[in-house]
Amino acid sequence: MSETEIDWYGPDTATLGDRILAAREAAGMTQAQLARRIGIKKTTLVGWEADLSEPRANRMSMMAGVLNVSIMWLMTGEGDGMDAPQANTAPENLSEVLRELRLLRGEIRASSDRAARLEKRLVALMNEPVT
């Protein structure tokens, strides 16, 4: 690994909770789904992902199997696990996105002004005497 590369899941960069969360998301599972698969409450998994508590060895083993990573990778970030996330290679130019956002804000402002005029007109119609 070069000096500029980041060990995304290593012990100096990520916690156990970070690795559990990353592996769960990579597996396409929600917290509720993973919790159900390994026989725990969702709140327990939330605590693990937030590094408020740690799983026992039997749950760690089950979780590693379900998430298709090694127990060692979950604990330390070393061994069979996940590759580092890919850099965002979106082809869009940031200034183009900013321009589009500004156009959208202008459209929203115009729609808001139109809604205010319609509301004013409706109030006026409601206050007209019926003949």
Q: Does residue 24 share a domain with residue 64?
A: yes
CA atoms of 24 and 69, how far apart (whole Å): 10
Count of domains forming the chain: 2
- Would residue 4 count as lying in a domain? no
Asked whether the beta carbons of 44 and 102 are under 8 A apart, the reply is no
pLDDT number for residue 77: 82
Tokens of 26: 């990579």
Instruction: Print the domain residue range for 37.
Output: 16-76
Task: Give me the CATH number covering residue 65.
Answer: 1.10.260.40
Q: What is residue 5's predicted lDDT score, i.e. its pLDDT? A: 55
69 and 112 co-located in one domain: no
Same-domain check for residues 61 and 106: no
DSSP for 29-78, please give it. Answer: --HHHHHHHHT--HHHHHHHHTTSS---HHHHHHHHHHHT--HHHHHHS-
Specify if 38 maps to a domain. Answer: yes
Determine, yes or no, domain membership for 54.
Answer: yes
Q: What is the pLDDT of residue 7?
A: 63
Of 61, 81, 102, 78, nearest in space to 21 by CA? 81
pLDDT for the residue 1: 47
Ordered per-residue pLDDT tens for the chain, 131 residues: 444 456 667 766 788 998 899 899 989 999 999 999 999 999 999 999 998 999 999 999 999 999 999 999 898 888 777 666 555 555 567 778 777 888 888 899 899 999 999 999 999 998 888 76
